[in-house]
Amino acid sequence: FTSISAQPCAMDSRTTSLEVDEELRDLGHEAAWFLSSAKPGNGVEQLRDGSTESFWQSDGPQPHLINIQFQRKVKVSEICIFVCFKVDESYTPSRISIRIGTAHHDLQEIQQLELKEPDGWINVPLAKPRGDTELPSGCTLRDPEMGGAVDFIRTHFIQLAILTNHQNGRDTHVRQIKVHGPRRRGHGPEGGLKLQTRELLQFASVR
């Protein structure tokens, strides 16, 4: 297991900022989100509202599932999860399985993480970044080599399965989830098309 750490939990603020690599972008708005169960008023909207004070609360048997479905195959580099043991105690996940596929029928587990009293954002890499990048701490990854994937994995469907909670808790709280992938190549900083050929490059500067 490789040890990774969480950013501190700050429950006194409505929105807690998350440090994200500038090379990554948020993919969550491109997906449809489904939960295996939810208490009224504690569902997908609360999981995705950007506030660390709200949360999804499951309302059914384990495992508790978060399903994230994309219309097209996307590149995913990391999943960021906000959990706070200091506040949620026995509702806090202690073991989470991450699975990918094209739909429910062909999901395969690519990572499993163990959490020990986490407090804050946990950045869970699904592929190894290039170069020497220190992993965040506060949880342990079952596969630190990430199946040999580099930079990103490609998938239509992601499932997070909360297998167990702290103190043998039955239902779970997850306060926020973000899905990040690499920024699209071939576009300049202003979103314009990047000129690639010699013929186009002659128009790249203003005379």
Q: Minimal CA–CA distance to 32: which of 66, 65, 57?
A: 66
pLDDT at 206 over 60: no
In angstroms, the CA 72 to CA 154 distance is 10
- Is 110:99 a contact under the CB 8 Å cutoff? yes
Q: How many whole angstroms separate alpha carbon 121 and alpha carbon 6?
A: 5
pLDDT, residue 7, reads 53
3 has a pLDDT exceeding 50:
no
Span 10-16, mean pLDDT? 49
pTM for this model (two decimals): 0.80
Alpha carbon distance 31, 34 (integer Å)? 10
Q: Which two tokens stand for residue 184?
A: 């699209």
User: Hey, what amino acid is at 3?
Assistant: S
Name the least confident of 28-42, 106-120, 141-155, 181-195: 181-195
Sign for the pseudo-dihedral over CA of 127, 131, 137, 141: positive
177: pLDDT strictly greater than 50: yes
Distance (Å, whole) CA 145 – CA 136: 15
Decide if 77 contacts 133 (C-beta within 8 A). Answer: no
Of 171, 130, 198, 137, which Cα lies nearest the Cα of 35? Answer: 171
